[in-house]
Structure 1
Amino acid sequence: MQKLIKMVTLSLVLSLAGGCSYLGVYKRDLPQGNLVTQEMVAQLEPGMTREQVKFVMGSPLLEAPFSANQWDYLYRLDEAYGDVEQRRVTLTFANDRLVNITTEGDLASDIELPSVEGVGPAPAGAGPEDSALSPEAERPGTPTSVP
């Protein structure tokens, strides 16, 4: 009986100690907000209408709560094993025309966004087995040419 108690205690201690070990935690980059690039800001010109600005920049992330004359485009990238990059573009309007552009952060640096290819299920008809057969080979009774 004492041997059984020792065995159970040892098993319990080993399993608890194994759960406390640090093997590392998977982290991933966390992008938030509107991606703003130098090319987008370079297309902006004073005098543009709000619709023209929306065409170039997209919808703003924030509109000033007490004044509809200021739009803010914010972007923050929290890199998994690195730094946090923040960008901000503030656009000011007067009489529905762009009058001022203020930028913060390094808009000129490139940001590598992860590709979404291979994430999630493949759409119907996009699997490798679907592309292997041509439409002629799928129909029974259709002669196929053999080289």
Structure 2
Amino acid sequence: MKKYQKLLIAALTVVSLQACSGFIYRIDIPQGNYLEQKDVEKLRIDMTKEQVIYVLGRPVVKDSFNHDKWYYVYSMKRGMTGEKFRKDLVIEFVDDKVAKVSGDMDLSEDFNTPLEQ
């Protein structure tokens, strides 16, 4: 009888400790370039690569086969909820100047106006 009682206590202890695992704090896991909308709105057509680095920082990924295409990728996994989201921004250059920007961020209305004007 004592053998079963010890086994029952051990099983209840394991189950009760497992129930507490929901209370453990899990950190958020951000990865990549965190871009703010206000920074992306500073981009303009014909900006140089150095100017883009100054505004957004260095890209996470540069295409190995196309050095004129930069990828800014940001992903986040929320620790407590497990929710995942991702934002991408792709900048393409022609003659070392911004030619096209695409992705999840909105560009400013002045994007097509070069900085000199």
Q: TM-score, normalised by structure 2?
A: 0.72
Deviation digits for residues 7-34 of structure 1, max 9, x if unmatched?
Answer: 4334333333334435514333221110
Deviation digits for residues 81-103 of structure 1, max 9, x if unmatched?
Answer: 27433211111011111111112
Paired positions, count: 105
The CA deviation at 1:48 is 1.2
In the alignment, the residues of structure 1 paired with residue 106 and residue 85 of structure 2 have an alpha-carbon distance, to the nearest angstrom, of 8
In the alignment, the residues of structure 2 paired with residue 106 and residue 47 of structure 1 have an alpha-carbon distance, to the nearest angstrom, of 18
1:40-119 counterparts in 2 under 5 A? Answer: 40-80=39-79, 81=81, 83-104=83-104
Larger fraction in strand: 2
With 29-38 and 65-74 compared, the bigger mean Cα shift is at: 29-38
Uncovered stretches (5+) of structure 2, i.e. residues with no partner: 108-117
With 53-62 and 7-16 compared, the bigger mean Cα shift is at: 7-16
Larger Rg, first or second structure (1 or 2)? 1
- The one of the two structures with greater contact order (alpha-carbon pairs below 8 A, sep at least 6) is 2
In the alignment, the residues of structure 1 paired with residue 27 and residue 62 of structure 2 have an alpha-carbon distance, to the nearest angstrom, of 29
Instruction: Using the aligned pairs only, state the percent identity.
Output: 29
1:131-146 counterparts in 2 under 5 A? Answer: none
Deviation digits for residues 37-92 of structure 1, max 9, x if unmatched?
Answer: 22111111111111111011100011112110100101112233274332111110
The answer to whether the Cα contact below 8 Å between 2:40 and 2:106 also exists between their aligned partners in 1 is no
Q: TM-score, normalised by structure 1?
A: 0.59
Secondary structure at the counterpart of residue 26 of structure 2:
coil
